[in-house]
Amino acid sequence: MSATALPLPSTTRFRRPLPGFGLSLGLGLAWLGLIVLLPLAALAIRAAGLGMDGWLRAIQDPRVQAALKLSFGAAFAASIVALFAGALIAWVLVRYRFPGRRLLDAIVDLPFALPTAVAGIALTAIYSANGWVGRWLEPEGLKIAYAPAGIVIALAFIGLPFAVRTVQPVLESLGREQEEAAASLGASRFTAFRRVILPELVPALLTGFSLAFARGLGEYGSVIFIAGNKPFATEIAPLLITIRLEEYDYNGAIAIAALLLAASFVCLLVINAVPSLFAHERRTRRNG
C-alpha cells in the first residue's frame, strides 16, 4: 500500500500591525490636509485675493521693508553661525569620547524643548546692560541686547540643533576608513578633510543651513524680548504681522505672512533637491 503524501498546512497570511497602503495613505493625507495644507491654502488664497498691486503696496511700505531686511539678514547671519558651530559640535560628538558627552548630546536638543519665550528672556538677562555678559560688553561699545546682534544670537540659538542633527548622522556613517586610506597615501589632514570628508558633508550642511534659515524667518518668541522692537531698527517681520493684525490691517499682515511663507517653501524645496542633485553628480562621476 503506497503512502499518500499529506497536504502541507497552508501558511498563515502575514498580518501587518498597521493598515494597508491605501488606508494609511488616505489617513496620512487627511491629517496633513487638515492640519497643514488647509491653513496654508487659506493664506495663499487670501494673499492671491489682494492682487499684485495690493500685495506690492503692502510690501513696499518703508516700515515693512525695514522689518523684512532685518528678518532676512538676521536669519541668514544666524544660519551661517549655526552652521559652523553645529558642524563643529557634531564633529566633536562623533569623533571623540569624553566625560559628559551624552549630556552635551542631550543639551543640543534643548532649544527644541525650551519654550521660545523662556529662551528670549534668558538671553535678554544675559546680554542686557546689567546682565552677566552685557555688563562687560556694553562699556566696550558692544551692544547685544536691544540691537540686531541680539536678534542674530537668538536665531542662532534656535537654529543650532538643525545644523547638528543634519551633520551628525552623515559623520557617523562615514567612519574613519576613508580618512585612514587618504592618510596612508600621504594626504595631510586638511587635504583628507577637503577631498574626502567635505564632499560628503556638503548636502547635510546645506540642509542644516536651509532648515535654520526657514526657522529663523518665522521665529517670534525668542526674538521679541531681546530685540527691543524699535520700528526701522530692531523690529522683525513676524512681530510686524502681529502689529498689523492688532491694527486691523489684515491685508498688510497677509502680505507679509505670504512672503515669509514663500521664502520658507523655497527653503524646503532646496532641502529636498540638494541631496538628489549631489547623489546624481556622484553617480555621474563614478560612471564617467
Least confident of 4-8, 140-144, 156-160, 220-224: 4-8
The grid coordinates of residue 286 equal 563614478
What is the pLDDT, as a whole number, of residue 278? Answer: 62
Tell me the residue range of the domain where 206 lies: 71-236
User: Considering the domain boundaries, does residue 48 fall inside one?
Assistant: no
Q: What is the mean pLDDT of residues 179-206?
A: 77
Distance separating alpha carbons of residues 123 and 120, to the nearest angstrom = 5
Alpha-carbon distance values, 132 to 40, 122, 129, 156, 225 (Å): 42, 11, 9, 19, 16
Please give the share of the chain, as a percent, with pLDDT higher than 90.
33
Which residue's C-alpha cell is 557634531? 90
Looking at the predicted structure, is the pLDDT value of residue 1 above 50? no
The answer to the question of residue 143 being in a domain is yes
Higher pLDDT, 288 or 94: 94
Does a structural domain hold residue 225? Answer: yes
- Asked if the model's pLDDT at residue 283 lies above 70, the reply is no
Among 271, 243, 273, 272, smallest CA distance to 257 is for 243
Mean pLDDT of the region 195-214: 86
Residues 66-94, mean pLDDT to the nearest whole number:
94
Q: What share of the chain is helix, strand, coil (3-state, %, to 5)?
A: 80, 0, 20
Identify the pLDDT of residue 64: 93
Residue 50 has pLDDT above 80, yes or no: yes
- DSSP conformation class of 176: S
86: pLDDT strictly greater than 90: yes
CATH of the domain at 105: 1.10.3720.10
Q: What is the CA radius of gyration of the chain?
A: 25
Provide the whole-model pTM.
0.82
The position carrying cell 532649544 is 111
Quick one: how far is CA 49 from the chain centroid? 30
Residue 279 is predicted with a pLDDT of 61
Residue 85 domain-assigned (yes or no)? yes
pLDDT at 221: 87
pLDDT confidence of residue 4: 54
Q: Over the chain, what is the mean pLDDT?
A: 84
Assigned domain for 195 exists: yes
Query: In 3D, which of 88, 111, 37 has the Cα closest to residue 201?
Result: 88
CA distance 234 to 225: 11
Q: Return the percentage of the chain with pLDDT > 70, whole number.
A: 85
139 part of a folded domain: yes
Q: Which residue has the cell 493625507?
A: 29
Instruction: Please give the tally of structural domains in the chain.
Output: 1
Q: Is residue 77 domain-resident?
A: yes
> Could you tell me if residue 21 is inside a domain?
no
Average of pLDDT values for 201-226?
90
